[in-house]
Structure 1
Amino acid sequence: MSEQSSTGPDDHRRLTELIGPVVEEAGLVLEDVALKPSGTGLVLQVLVDLPEDRTDSVDIDRIAEVARAVSDALDRDDPVPGSAYELEVSSPGATRELAEPRHWRRSLGRLVRVTPVEGEKFTARLLEVAQDGVVLQRSHQAKKGMPARLLDPERWPFDRVRRAKVEVEFTD
């Protein structure tokens, strides 16, 4: 998020130092913070997530609680003096980009869509996450209507993965 923001390094640091402890106190992780132009004003975007040992999702009530706590902290110590902004607190969502090892750990057991540095995109089940890579298991369906066969698990170092994203699964 901060790559496209108007948040300078000092603003980003100041916002992170102010908002980070509030988010942590709520039992969440501060994923990112960015101050972005929006129409004639600014939007302060705060992205929060559950700790990496959790695989469930942040519910809307939890988002609302942390938004109130962040708003109170901003009212006490305005990190962007003289600027009016709208506060927006959210979570990464179901189809998050897997950019860091902790994102992969949060997605353990899920289907992921992988774009390797070399080769074709593929979908696989995330079985394990290590410091330097992941273990993925693809499946193969020989004919339409036939049950899929699980292939042997494959080890993928992070440096061989260009991009990865969680896939939404619909189950009966």
Structure 2
Amino acid sequence: MAFPSSEELQTLITPVASQYNMDVERIKITKAGKKSVVAIALDSDSRPTLDELEEVSNEISALFDEHEERGELNFGAGYSLEVTTPGIDHPLTLPRHWRRNRGRLVTLTDDNGNKTQWRIGALSDDEQEVALISHEPKGGKNLRVDSVRVSDSVRAVVEIEFSNPPATEAEIAEEPFEEAMKRREDNK
């Protein structure tokens, strides 16, 4: 049997991750000499702790070993398993990514390479759009509220902040989507 693909491993480990209310965000396989590396990024609404990640890692490792003993998986000479969270540079592409980062600062890069920074607000009820809040121009006193479709081709990455967000931005970020959109209409 050939070395397993990311898709095969995804199918195998998703039930284990689901038991811990976690989602498999990424699987990266690096074939390297005697020992290959299987890196799995997991996330959840409540941010996994190191203890939880260790527990899931132990279960996944045991699962891989069982399947390898039965001849259903073949990691060659061996593998190292890394289980972690996606990290701050993981792009926001799904509704759950936006929901989990509500209130945080995000940089959006459009197809032309133009970048803008916004604070993430609420998702719409159908989870197709997300509210965005920004001071315009940068550092100005006027708040701008807008939205973006989750499926749009913009690249969105969370930014690290070293200070508390402006109170008005944080307040709007906590508002329901429809309420934030009323502010957008009021500011036109």
Instruction: Classify the TM-score, shorter chain.
Output: 0.7 to 0.9
* Partner residue of 2:10 out of 16, 20, 34: 16
Q: Secondary structure at the match of 1:80?
A: coil
Q: Secondary structure at the match of 1:152?
A: strand
TM-score, scaled relative to structure 2: 0.71
Is 1:139 matched with 2:131? no
Which stretches in structure 2 are left out of the alignment for 5+ residues?
165-188
* Partner residue of 1:80 out of 70, 73, 76: 73
Runs of 4+ in 1 over 6 A off after TM superposition: none
Q: Contact 1:22 / 1:73 at 8 angstroms: preserved in 2?
A: no
1:160-171 matches, within 5 Å, as 160-171=152-163
Distance 1:27 1:159, change over 3 A: closer
* Partner residue of 1:100 out of 69, 94, 104: 94
Distance 1:73 1:136, change over 3 A: same
Instruction: Tell me, in whole angstroms, the C-alpha distance in 2 between the residues paired with 1:30 and 1:109.
Output: 23
Q: Secondary structure at the match of 1:81?
A: coil
Q: Deviations over 1:111-169 (max 9, x none)?
A: 10111235731111111223332211111367xxxx75252311222455421101111
Specify the code of the residue in structure 1 equivalent to 2:53.
Answer: I
Q: Contact 1:44 / 1:88 at 8 angstroms: preserved in 2?
A: yes
Q: Which has the larger radius of gyration?
A: 2
RMSD: 2.6
* Partner residue of 2:51 out of 56, 61, 72: 61
Distance 1:101 1:112, change over 3 A: same
Q: Contact 2:26 / 2:86 at 8 angstroms: preserved in 1?
A: no
Is 1:38 matched with 2:36? no
